Structure 1
Amino acid sequence: MLRLLGSAILATTSAFLSSTLSQGPSALGQTIVPTFDTWATTHVTKSLPLSYLNDSVVGVDASYYLDAVGKEPLVSALGGFPFALESNIVRELKDLQSIGLRLHFVFNGLDYGIDDDPFGPSLAAANNSALAFEIYENRETAAQAAQVFRSSGAPNSAALSEFLKKVLYKHGVPFTVAPYSALAQLAYFEKHPDGFIDAIYGPAELFLYGVDKVITKFKLAHQPHDAPDKGITKKAPQLAPEVPEFLWIDRRNCLEALGRISLANFEDALLLAGSKVLSPFPPTNRAGKTYPFRDIASLLAVTVGGAVTLCNQNSDDEEVQRLEYLDRYKRAMAGIRHHVVITSEGDIETLDKDSAPDDLHDCVGQRLPEELNMYLSRGMIRPRVLSWLASGIILILAPYDGGDSKVYQDLVRHQLEPLRRQTLSLLADSLNRYYQRKEITTRYWFDPSSPSSVNIKDLLPSPKDSINSWNVKENAMLDRRQTLVDKKTPDLPLGSISFAVRSLQDADFAAATITPPKKGQKHQLLQSRGEICANAVWRFLQLRGYVDRQHQLTAWGKALDSVLSIAGSQPQQEKAALLAVELMRLGLLNADTMFFAYSGAPGRSNDIDKRNCMLVSRVASLGRLIHQPRGYSGPLSRHLLAYHSMVSAVQASMRDMLEMCLVTMFLEGGVDREREDWMEIALMLPLFEEDSCALGVVMLHYLDELFVREDPTSDATREEMTSKGQGWVIHSDFKASQQLAFGLWDAVYRGVKVANESGEDIKEIQMWHEVDQWLAQRR
C-alpha cells in the first residue's frame, strides 16, 4: 500500500494512484471512448516518472493491455499468436517490476451489455485484411500493406487472453478473471478497505465505475520486437523517454477543464460518446462524423435532466427509436452501478445490491453458480461456453480471411453445430433446471437474418452418464505407463493425448479403466492433476468417437494412435495430430479448390503438381514454424489463411468440449476441490494454444519455387531452394521447420493408411499415395 503524506507531488501521486493499468510499456493507449481520448490527451493528461509508483500494486485491465502490445503487423495475415508477443510482454513486465511495481491483471469474464453491431468489428477486420492482401499481391509498398494488416483489428484481445494468462502464470504475475467486466472488478479491488491495488491502468471508461484516476500509458526505454526486418518495413521508431514515465488522468481535472460540470454530466458524456456498454448517442454520431467530446459534455451541462432529457428531446429520431436508446442508457447505467464482482472471500456479489433493481440480470447477465465462477476466475476454464449458456446467444464471427467460402460457412453452421450442442448439453446437465430448459440461438455473420435455435431440454439427457465410467486413479496409470516405457515408448505425461490413446492398446488395461463413480467414498475422488486431466481426455476421446463405451480404441482411435506415433508427444505435435484426424473425418483434409476467390494457392507447373503442393502445404499448416521471438517477414497466402480459419474453428470446438468434460467432473463431485492448481490443470490439457499457418505458407513457397527449376527433384535444386528458404523468413530456422513439416506429412499419411485399412472411407486414398511418392522426390 502506498502511504503518501506531505508534499504536493506526493499528494498528486496519491490521488492518481487509484486508477487502472492495462497497456504495455511501449504501446499506445487506446481508450474505449475515442472522442474522450482525443480531448484528454491535449487537455488533462499528465505525466510522472515511473519511480513514483515504486512499491505499488497496479491493477491491469488485460483487454486494454493486449490491444496495445498484440499489434504485430502480420498476425492477421497468418492467424495464431504473434511470434514476438511473449518476449515483448516478458520484457515489459521485467522493466516494470525492476522499478518496484507489482502487477495484478484482470480479465473480462462473461459477455455483458447489449452489442448493437456484434459482427461489425470482425467484418471490418476481415475487410481490412482483404485490402492488405490486395496491396501485397499487387506488389505495392510493403510498408503500406503492413500498416493495413496491423490496423485490421485482428486478433482482438479476447483471442489473445488465454495466451496472456499462460505467460503471466509462467512468470509469477497474479491475475483474476472477473465474472463479467474487468473494469468493475478493478474498481472493486481499488476501493476495497484492504487496498488490494493502489492504481489502475486502463481505459477512460473506468471513470464510470467510480475510479478517480486512471493510468493510460507506460513509456519505457525500449521498442517491442514486433516489426520484421525485411519485406515489410518497420514502423517509424518512437523516441523513448530518458526517464521512464507514465501518463495518467485525474477525474477532477476533467470536470474542471470541462467548465466544472457535474460528475453526473461527465459520466453521461462518457456513455453517450460511446462505450462497451452503450453505442454513441445517434444525433452526435452521423455518417461517421462525431461530436467532439467537449461539445457532448457542454450539451449535457446545459440540459436539465442530462441524458434522459436529451433522449426524450430526440425521441423522434429514427436511430434513437430503433435502438430504444433511452432504455439502453438506463440499463447501461444500472449495469455499471450494480455490476457483479468476485469478492475477496470468493463470493459473487452485486455492487450496491440493496438498491439494485430486480431485473438486474437484464442489465448485466444471467447469474451462473458460484462454483463455475470460481473455476473461471482462476483460469481453469474459458468464458466462451459459459457466455453461450448465460446469454442464450452464440455469435459466429467472421474469421481473419473473411470466411467468404461456402466450405467454411458449412463447417461452422452445419458440421460444428452438433459439437456446440453436445458441449452445451454437457454443462447444462450438471446445472439447475433453469439452464436445462434454456433456449440457445446461434447467429452467423454471413446470414444474420437466419439464426438457428435449440432448447437445451431437447438435447438432454447429455452423454454425461456414458462417460462417467472414467474415474481411473493415478497408481493404475503409472503402472500402465511403466509397461509402455519398458517397450521403449517415451515417458508420456499423464493427461496427454498420446498416453490416453496408447495406454488403451492393451485390452486388459482398457477394461480395467471402466471405473464408475462410487457415491459417498471420498477416497475415490480424483486428486492429482495427472489423473484429473487423463480422465478428462479419455472422456473427450470417447465423445469424439476415438474410444467406445467399452473403452476400446475405435478405427479412428487406431488412426490417431498411428499419427501420434510418428508426430510425437509434445503438446504442439499432439495438437497437429488430433486436428489432422478431425479434419480428415470432416472431409476437409484434402486438395480441393475450396477458396476460389482467394489468391495464394499453388500457381506453377501442371494441375497435378499444384494439387500435390496444396495437400502437403495444408498438412504443414497444422504445425508450427520454428521462429525467433521477432516479427514475421516472409511470404503470405490468403488461401492458406482461409484454411487456417477452418483449423482454428475446429480446434476451438475441441477445446470447448474438453473443458466441459473437465468441469463436469468437478460439478458432479468426482474431484477433490480443495486445491490451488487451477491454472496448471488448464495448461496440462491439450489444445491450449493455436498456431499460425506460417509453416504451411513456407512449405507452399518452397515447393512452388521448385517448379521453376529445370530439374526440381535433383539434390542440387533441393539444396539450393533450402538454402534460399532461410532468406525468405530470416528469423526462422528454415531447415528444421522444413523437416518438421515433412515429419508431419509422414505422420498424417500413416494415419490415412491405417484409417483406410480399418474400414473408414477415406476420400481419394489413391491421391494420398500419389502425393507421398511425389513428395519423396522433393524432400
Structure 2
Amino acid sequence: MPVRHLDHYTIQKCQTQPLSTLRDIRLGIDGNVWLRKIITSTSEQYLGAIGGTPSTLRAAIEKELENFKTASIHPLFVFSGLSLIRKEKPSVSDDLKIAKRNAAWDAYYAGKLETQTQFWSSLTSLHQPDLFHLVFRILREHNVDYLRAPYGTCAQLAYLEKNPKQIIHAIYAGSEALMFDVDRVITHIDFNKQTFSVIAKSLVLQDLQLSDEQFLDLCLLAGYDHCPPFPLFSTIGSYAIKSISDLLKQHRTGFNAIQAHANNNEQVFKPNYGDLFWKMRFAVRHLPVLSDDGHVKPMNAEQAPSDIHEFIGFCLPDELYYYLSRGMISEATLNTLVCGHGAEYSPLCNGETKEYRNLLNNDIMKMKAQTLALLTSQVHQYYQRKISIVFWYDGTSSTEHTLKIESAPVTVDAIMNWKSGKLSAATELKKAGIARPQFSFCLKLVADTADAASTVLAKGGEAPVPVSEIADVQARQLLKLMQLRSFVDASHVPTRYGKAILEGFKAHPSSPAEYQEALFVALELLRSELLSSRPYSHNYSKKTTIENEAAIKAIRLVSRVSCLLGARFKGVKPWAGPMNRDLLVFSSMSKLVTRNLRHLGEAVLVNMLLANECAKEDLDYTELATSLPFAHEPSTVLALLVKQYLESLETSEGGVENAEKAVQQTEEQCGATSLSTLADGVKEELQRAFSFWDVVYDAVRSLSGTISKELSLEFEESNSWLKTRRF
C-alpha cells in the first residue's frame, strides 16, 4: 500500500538517468506496483460488466518482459504475501460499489453511454492477488524469476538487496520502499525514452531535515497500511508531507506528536491512534522476510519485541511460507487460517439472487471447510479453532458464518489412503502424448476396479513410498481433489459424476485441454441445479423479442454453458461490445466455484507435501504451482456471442437456413472494435462454444437417474433445439 501523499512529494525529488545504466544488473521489482501499472495501462473499463481477467493482460506483460530482455535487465519479481493480523472481525461494506454497479447497468440499459462509462471507470473490479496465478504462469513460460514474500514486498526487496550474496543489485518499487533499509529506489522506467527515475533516500532526508527514524514516523502519520492518516492532516499533495515534517521537528518523534494532541483532540484519542501507530511501526521495522537459507525471520530480529505476534500474527511453519513463495497456495487461505476469520465481498453481479447466496452458504462454505481442514491437519493444533466468514450482505450486523468441517461431504481423513498403483501417471502420459495430467486422464487411471484397488493403502500396512515423479504428484493431487468433491469414491473408483467426465470426453477425444476444467465446473454447478435453463430469482434483462418459450430456455442454457469456456483474445484491444447482466449472474457463480476449487486444489497439494507423501527434494515447485488447475476465470464474452447469434437466428425471417446472415448480424451488433480483440472470428468462436456444448451434453446425459428428470429434460430439449441451428 502506498504512503498517502508521499508520491506527490518524491516525484519532485526524482533524478532521471539513462536506462543503459541498468544494463546486466539483477533488478528486484515490487510485483504489486508493476502489476498495478500494467493493469492501468490496459484500462479495461467494462471488465466489471463482463467478468474474467483483462483480455490485454498477457500481451501487456509479455511486451514488458521483452523490454527488460532488450535492455539486458534481469528482473526478479517479488509479490506480496500475508496481511498483518487483524484481531477484530473484518468489516465488509460494499454499499457504495453495489450502488455504482446498479447505476452503471441502469445507464447501460437506458443507452446512456457517457454515464455508464463514468460509473464503470470509477469501479475497481480487480483484486490483484486474483491475477497472480495467471501472472506466475506467464513468468514461468518466459523463464523469469518470481517469488511471494511472507508478508510485504518492500521488506523482502530490502533484504535481497542488502544480502552479502547480492541477490539483487537495485530495487524498482513505489516510494513507500524508502521506509525500509534501502538507499535508492527506482520509481519509474520509460522504455520508449530509454530512461528511468530514481529517488535517493539521503536527498529526501536532507530536504525534510529528518532522521531515518523520523522519516518512518512521517510515513506512518501520513497514512500507511493499517495505520490511518494522523487526523490533523487532510492536506492533499506534498504540502501534507511538509506539514508532518514540521510537526516531527517540533515534537521529535511521531509518538510525542500523537501524545501532544491526544488529550484535546477526540479524533486522536477515541480510536486509540497511538496504539495503531506503535504496532505499525514495529511491524515495519520487524516484518518477517524469507532468507536465502529458507527460513522466515523478522528483520532486525535482535531488537524485535517478544510480542511480535501481536501486530504481525502467529508464525506459520517455514515450509508453508516457502510454498507461498512459489505460488502454490493463496494468501487468502493462509490469512483466514491465521486470523480465524475471513470475508466474502459482493460479486460483480452484486449477489442479489437467492441462488448465489444459497451457493455461498452451502457448497462454498463446505468447500472452504475442506480447504482449511487440509491445512489444520498438518500444522499446530492452535489453528484447529473456530473460523468464521463475514458476508457483505449482512452489513454491520454481528452475523458470522462458521466453517463446519463436519458438514463437508468428504472428510480429510478419507483421502489419506492413497499410494502408487499399478499404473504410473508418468508412464501413461508418455503413451498418451499429453503434457500434464488432466481430470479425464486421471480418472482413466482408476476407471478399472482392479487399478483403483491397487491405489488404496491398507490400514496397518507398510508406509507408502513417497511419490517422486512430478506427473504422479500432479495426478494424485487431482484424484484427491476429485475425491473431496465426490467425483471419486472411498475405494478410488469414479462415481457417477466422475464417469460423466469420462463420458463427456469419450465421444470427443480430441477436445482441447481447456475443456477439462470448464466441464468440472459445469458438473459442480449442475449438481447444485444452477446450470439449468430456468431463470434465476432476479431477472435483469429487458423483455425478449422472442416469443417461443422453448427457444428462450435453450438460448439461456447454451449461453450459460458457453460462459464456462470464455472467448479467446488477441490481447490488442479490450472488449467494448454488448453486455448482459443475467449472464454476469451465472458468471459470478461459476467464478465463485472456480476460485474455491482453486484454493481447495492448492490445499490438497500442500497437505500432501506437509504429510511427506512426496519426495520433496526431487520436485520442481514452480512447475507444480503453475500447473495447478482453475487459474483461469473466463468472461461472459463467448456467451454473449452465442446469445446474440442464436437470438438473431431465431428472429430472422429465413429461419435456420439463415445461419451465415445471423453470424453477420452478430458481427454488426458487436462492432468492429470489439471483434478486433478476438483471436478468431465470430464463426470460429461459435464453433468452439458448440463443440464444448457437445462435451457437456454427453456428460449430462450419462447422469440420467442421478440428476432430476426436469434437469435432464432441459438439456435434451435444448440439444434438440440447437441441432438444427448450428453450421
TM-score by length of 1: 0.85
Instruction: Determine the structure 2 residue equivalent to 1:45.
Output: 14
User: Distance between the aligned counterparts of 1:769 and 1:262, measured in 2?
Assistant: 75
User: Distance between the aligned counterparts of 2:27 and 2:93, measured in 1?
Assistant: 30
Question: Superposed, which structure 2 residues align to 1:607-756 within 5 Å?
Answer: 607-633=549-575, 634-715=577-658, 717-718=661-662, 720-721=664-665, 724=668, 727=672, 729-732=675-678, 733=680, 734-756=682-704
Q: For the structure 1 residues 676 and 560, does the alpha-carbon distance in structure 2 shift closer, same or farther, using more than 3 Å as the test?
A: closer
Partner-residue secondary structure (3-state), 2:16: strand
User: Distance between the aligned counterparts of 1:116 and 1:767, measured in 2?
Assistant: 47
Instruction: Determine the structure 2 residue equivalent to 1:440.
Output: 387
Q: Give 1:116 shift.
A: 9.2
Partner-residue secondary structure (3-state), 2:492: coil
2:110 equivalent to 1:138: yes
Q: For the structure 1 residues 652 and 315, does the alpha-carbon distance in structure 2 shift closer, same or farther, using more than 3 Å as the test?
A: farther
User: Distance between the aligned counterparts of 1:399 and 1:460, measured in 2?
Assistant: 24
Instruction: Determine the structure 2 residue equivalent to 1:589.
Output: 531
User: Distance between the aligned counterparts of 2:98 and 2:292, measured in 1?
Assistant: 41
User: Distance between the aligned counterparts of 2:357 and 2:342, measured in 1?
Assistant: 15
Instruction: Determine the structure 2 residue equivalent to 1:362.
Output: 310
2:273 equivalent to 1:330: no
User: Distance between the aligned counterparts of 2:165 and 2:198, measured in 1?
Assistant: 23
CA contact (8 A) 2:14 2:197 kept: yes
User: Distance between the aligned counterparts of 2:259 and 2:132, measured in 1?
Assistant: 37
> Which one of the candidate residues 41, 59, 62 is aligned to 2:31?
62
Partner-residue secondary structure (3-state), 2:197: strand
Q: Give 1:573 shift.
A: 0.9
Instruction: Determine the structure 1 residue equivalent to 2:162.
Output: 191
CA contact (8 A) 1:504 1:552 kept: yes
2:211 equivalent to 1:262: yes
User: Distance between the aligned counterparts of 1:553 and 1:445, measured in 2?
Assistant: 37
Q: Give 1:586 shift.
A: 1.4
Q: Give 1:548 shift.
A: 0.9
Partner-residue secondary structure (3-state), 1:205: helix
Question: Superposed, which structure 2 residues align to 1:80-479 within 5 Å?
Answer: 80-114=52-86, 127-141=99-113, 145-146=116-117, 148-221=119-192, 243-258=193-208, 260-285=209-234, 292-311=240-259, 313-315=261-263, 317-436=265-384, 438-448=385-395, 449-452=397-400, 454=402, 463-472=411-420, 476-477=424-425
CA contact (8 A) 1:429 1:461 kept: no
User: Distance between the aligned counterparts of 1:95 and 1:58, measured in 2?
Assistant: 13
CA contact (8 A) 2:78 2:148 kept: yes
CA contact (8 A) 1:115 1:277 kept: no
Instruction: Determine the structure 2 residue equivalent to 1:577.
Output: 519
Q: Give 1:113 shift.
A: 4.8
User: Distance between the aligned counterparts of 2:437 and 2:542, measured in 1?
Assistant: 38
Q: For the structure 1 residues 342 and 602, does the alpha-carbon distance in structure 2 shift closer, same or farther, using more than 3 Å as the test?
A: farther
Spell out, residue by residue over 1:337-361, the C-alpha distance to the aligned partner (whole angstroms, 9 max, x if none): 1110110111111111222112211
Instruction: Determine the structure 2 residue equivalent to 1:558.
Output: 499
Question: Superposed, which structure 2 residues align to 1:756-767 within 5 Å?
Answer: 756-757=704-705, 759-761=706-708, 763-767=710-714
CA contact (8 A) 1:86 1:167 kept: yes
Q: Give 1:554 shift.
A: 1.3
CA contact (8 A) 2:527 2:707 kept: no
CA contact (8 A) 1:201 1:216 kept: yes
Partner-residue secondary structure (3-state), 2:206: helix
The answer to which of 636-645 and 591-600 deviates more is 591-600
CA contact (8 A) 2:28 2:172 kept: yes
CA contact (8 A) 2:422 2:454 kept: no
> Which one of the candidate residues 467, 470, 477 is aligned to 1:526?
467
Q: Give 1:621 shift.
A: 0.4
Superposition RMSD on alpha carbons, in Å?
3.1
Amino acid at match of 1:445: W
Amino acid at match of 1:175: Y
User: Distance between the aligned counterparts of 2:34 and 2:489, measured in 1?
Assistant: 45
CA contact (8 A) 1:303 1:310 kept: no
Partner-residue secondary structure (3-state), 2:393: coil
Partner-residue secondary structure (3-state), 1:613: helix
Q: For the structure 1 residues 165 and 555, does the alpha-carbon distance in structure 2 shift closer, same or farther, using more than 3 Å as the test?
A: same
Q: Give 1:262 shift.
A: 3.3
User: Distance between the aligned counterparts of 1:776 and 1:645, measured in 2?
Assistant: 28
Partner-residue secondary structure (3-state), 1:545: coil
Amino acid at match of 1:662: L
User: Distance between the aligned counterparts of 2:63 and 2:427, measured in 1?
Assistant: 43
The answer to which of 359-368 and 410-419 deviates more is 410-419
Question: Superposed, which structure 2 residues align to 1:504-543 within 5 Å?
Answer: 504-515=446-457, 524-543=465-484
Partner-residue secondary structure (3-state), 1:714: helix
Spell out, residue by residue over 1:667-687, the C-alpha distance to the aligned partner (whole angstroms, 9 max, x if none): 111110103511111233322
Amino acid at match of 2:213: A
Structure 1, unpaired ranges of 5+: 1-30, 222-242
CA contact (8 A) 2:426 2:469 kept: no
Q: Give 1:54 shift.
A: 1.5
Q: Give 1:130 shift.
A: 4.4
Q: For the structure 1 residues 678 and 159, does the alpha-carbon distance in structure 2 shift closer, same or farther, using more than 3 Å as the test?
A: same
Partner-residue secondary structure (3-state), 1:653: helix
User: Distance between the aligned counterparts of 1:600 and 1:366, measured in 2?
Assistant: 52
Q: For the structure 1 residues 627 and 194, does the alpha-carbon distance in structure 2 shift closer, same or farther, using more than 3 Å as the test?
A: same
User: Distance between the aligned counterparts of 2:468 and 2:231, measured in 1?
Assistant: 56
CA contact (8 A) 2:336 2:387 kept: yes
CA contact (8 A) 1:473 1:531 kept: no
Q: For the structure 1 residues 168 and 466, does the alpha-carbon distance in structure 2 shift closer, same or farther, using more than 3 Å as the test?
A: same
Instruction: Determine the structure 2 residue equivalent to 1:11.
Output: none
User: Distance between the aligned counterparts of 1:769 and 1:569, measured in 2?
Assistant: 21
Instruction: Determine the structure 2 residue equivalent to 1:546.
Output: 487
Q: For the structure 1 residues 274 and 553, does the alpha-carbon distance in structure 2 shift closer, same or farther, using more than 3 Å as the test?
A: same
Percent identity, please: 28
Question: Superposed, which structure 2 residues align to 1:22-41 within 5 Å?
Answer: 32-41=2-11
The answer to which of 386-395 and 513-522 deviates more is 513-522
CA contact (8 A) 1:79 1:692 kept: yes
Q: Give 1:632 shift.
A: 2.6
Partner-residue secondary structure (3-state), 1:292: helix
Q: Give 1:635 shift.
A: 1.7
Partner-residue secondary structure (3-state), 2:337: helix
TM-score by length of 2: 0.91
Instruction: Determine the structure 2 residue equivalent to 1:78.
Output: 50
Amino acid at match of 2:57: L
Amino acid at match of 1:280: P
Count how many residue pairs are aligned between Structure 1 and Structure 2: 715
CA contact (8 A) 2:19 2:194 kept: yes
